[in-house]
Chain A
């Protein structure tokens, strides 16, 4: 018996609802279980152990980080990496798509070349090459930290500079909701922190500056000033605000040794609250700077 219009419409709507529900059963069976067994982590650990230790390995799925770091100590090497420049080869451990928007942002105009994939069960280890040079010098590496200028205004204590106007520390910081390892320059309002020293330069100086943390960024938009001098000549000056996130900057350089001066001036480091300006709740600029060679 053919269905009349009412019954046909009812049948279509009920069928649609039933079909969606049936799809939800399948989706539930896929979603409501753990994907990663200990054996999968063991396989990933073995694969990572076989990689050259100087090639970065990054995790595509940020949210998996705490669990992944428990099983894969090798991931700590690249935790807080400023970007994927300076790494001609890198590796991505992923549950799904390897080049997530975050990793594409870290590539910043570099076009990676896929070299292969190791299937590790639910996880996969993707290998890439990128047309990037090597790192010659890194402001965060202990031997390369520059001597402070200012005749004793700052003194070095382990991985920090303690100054009359504040301190600068190499540490991890949350910037734009991603972890970065950088030089956190926590100085009084208007005070400058300056480093100077002789370094080996490549084709460019590349760095980033961002502000930590999210609460401070919410209630203070004042920029910081970053200045670079080479052999006593001012070469670059940037005004960077927190709306730029982890703001990248580059300066073309002539390869060879040079006297480099880095100066970061914090204009306002406190926080504006309904009660007024609170200088004790800090918003700290954090700096990364490396000298890179031309791509091979």
Chain B
């Protein structure tokens, strides 16, 4: 499998995901937060368009603040991108509506305005899938166990990964790896020849490319389970890179809760993808000044998507310090002030500033407001095991149980095995004794990559953070989606490691590929079946939506499960009580001609029909509907596997 073919497959898979999201999510209703983001996106894009026509507008503080004051508690990047996407691809709204309540046609009117605004997030989801595919493919390699490009020229630097001691491979009785016939062609990379031709501590000649990402998180050679090593280049144990590539990519995007968030005009999957991108970049930056220079701006972009990214440099710092400590030698001066961290410290802040025009005036004051908003975030209501939580502490088990309930157990088990094996290896491996002197531009060149520590830090931190008793209650699984790409890579790593250790021969050598569907189908089944209500979908062992209702887990939120009720709503007398459907989301339907004409929204006291999105605490609103209509029988109920998601009530009033 050539690197080019892998890259093409990654792009194809990413594009397929984008196409499926773009089409499939037209059946997913607009969630509460999207309503305000749509509104903000139009304001931001309008400012940008006016700025293009007359650059003076960009520096007009009043005009800028007017545009970016809308939803200024979140960075502007995704909303700006969504607004610009609408200006490019939005289809016009229905004729006859007032211009302010009608979608404006874009330059290439291909899709409804809301779908166009969702497109940038969907493109990022596609990018994430492609990155995972490439990084997953890299796990099939048996080469490059160390950072930078000297490893392939230095077989002795391969650690014995079985016992924890750092020994040359030959000393452990393991045949020295060679570029044997079974090595994937991708291993015969230019980096091998580069390594032979350049000084070990020289920066790599290649600039960052997609190609490099395929090797961004490789599996160290022959990660053992504690017994004598198998020859890592044994043809019998060679695995197609497609296997871990597909496993990593689908582990992530195949999950119902990832899928549903991936298609929304929101920030959760985009920030998960950018976290992955920053980590992949960091890993390269430890041995390359070019990647270091990219790292800072990339982190800035990630922070400009959502505040979760503010934790990235902290976690990278922990990983870096762990690498230095585990190296077992005194750090050099260059290692104490490494370029990757300098880049993040110096280049990320101006990137954030540049991408968030709200901060251009009074940046410190407004940053302070931003931090305070999230520090003092309002508590959401969330149901957990039949209890409604709306004040801390949330039980520490909450994110872990919710993860189990929404991710198939076999995939989680594989990820856990991958983390244990990789961390155990990372803690025991040492750099070879003949490391060249390092520079601050490549502070860990020649060191073991310690990918397991990276996966563990980024795969567990979001869950641990949410489990802390003092953390505000934010709600559902979307708040720790940033962990999933790393759990996906850990799972793919485990799959490769275990099959390599098992070393099947004969017809059994096809088992790793043949059994892949066994692992992935439960997740894909769950997602396909749950569409377009995957916010309410649960894993098979949790019993799906019905099982979750029995267990007392949250049903859904955001008021998005409404589209199939629109027909029924159009036949009811208005006005309509919207409940958790945000008025701005309703306006978006109206702008696109999807809202029943003439059906106005009203408070319950004046309503003649009403929506109810079922959650434990929403019972309060449901009994209000019963009292108002003097009737507790809904006229229509939207369900997922018998579980009510949304009810439509109507009365004679």
Contact = CB atoms under 8 A, between A and B. Distances in A.
A123 B374 CA distance: 46
B502 interface: yes
Interface in B608-653: 612, 614, 616-617, 619-620, 622-623, 626-627, 632-634, 637, 639, 641-644, 647
Contacts of B543: 27, 30-31
Contacts of B639: 34, 67
A11 interface: yes
Contacts of B410: 17-18, 20-21, 24
Interface stretch (B60-68, B219-227, B295-303, B559-567): B219-227
Nearest to A31: B544
A9 to B, nearest CB: 4
Contacts, number: 168
Interface residues of A, number: 53
Interface in A124-169: none
A64 B644 contact: yes
B642 A21 contact: no
Contact of A24 (B386, B408, B530, B617): B408
Interface stretch (A42-50, A69-77, A85-93, A262-270): A69-77
B179 interface: no
A174 B388 CA distance: 13
Nearest to A19: B410
A68 to B, nearest CB: 9
Interface in A21-46: 21-25, 27-28, 30-36
Contact of B501 (A7, A21, A214): A7
B388 A177 contact: yes
Contacts of A73: 633
Given A6-B501, A27-B541, A177 B525 contact: no
Contacts of B549: 61, 63-64
A61 B226 CA distance: 50
Contacts of A10: 225, 497-499, 501-502
Contacts of A64: 549, 642-644
Nearest to B412: A20
A235 to B, nearest CB: 32
A34 B522 contact: no
A17 B522 CA distance: 13
A20 B413 contact: yes
Contacts of A16: 413
A237 interface: no
Contact of B541 (A4, A23, A34, A171): A23
Contacts of B518: 18, 21-22, 25
Nearest to B639: A67
A5 B227 contact: yes
B227 A178 contact: no
Contacts of B494: 13
A172 B390 CA distance: 23
A249 B428 CA distance: 65
B417 interface: yes
B58 interface: no
A7 B627 contact: no
Contacts of A18: 410, 515, 518-519
A14 B502 contact: yes
Nearest to A26: B540
A5 B522 CA distance: 31
Contacts of B617: 177, 214
B639 to A, nearest CB: 6
Given A18-B518, A25-B521, A172 B627 contact: yes
Contact of A9 (B227, B503, B540): B227
Contacts of B550: 61, 63, 96
Contact of A17 (B519, B555, B642): B519
Nearest to A76: B632
A256 interface: no
Q: Which of A24, A35, A80, A173 has the most CB of B within 10 A?
A: A24
A28 to B, nearest CB: 4
A271 to B, nearest CB: 13
Given A14-B499, A179-B619, A214-B390, A35 B519 contact: no
A61 B641 CA distance: 14
Interface of B: 224-230, 381, 386, 388, 390-391, 408-410, 413-414, 417, 494, 497-499, 501-503, 515, 518-519, 521-522, 525-526, 529-530, 538-547, 549-550, 555, 612, 614, 616-617, 619-620, 622-623, 626-627, 632-634, 637, 639, 641-644, 647
29 contacts: A6-B224, A6-B229, A6-B230, A10-B499, A11-B502, A13-B225, A13-B498, A14-B499, A17-B410, A18-B515, A21-B408, A21-B410, A24-B540, A24-B541, A27-B522, A32-B529, A63-B555, A66-B644, A69-B632, A70-B633, A70-B634, A172-B623, A172-B627, A172-B632, A174-B619, A174-B620, A174-B622, A179-B619, A179-B626
Given A17-B414, A28-B521, A66-B644, 17 more contacts: A6-B226, A9-B225, A16-B413, A23-B541, A24-B409, A25-B518, A27-B522, A27-B543, A28-B544, A34-B641, A66-B612, A174-B619, A177-B616, A179-B626, A214-B381, A214-B390, A218-B390
> What 5 A-B pairs have minimum CB-CB distances, sorted nearest first?
A31-B544, A6-B227, A27-B540, A10-B501, A21-B410
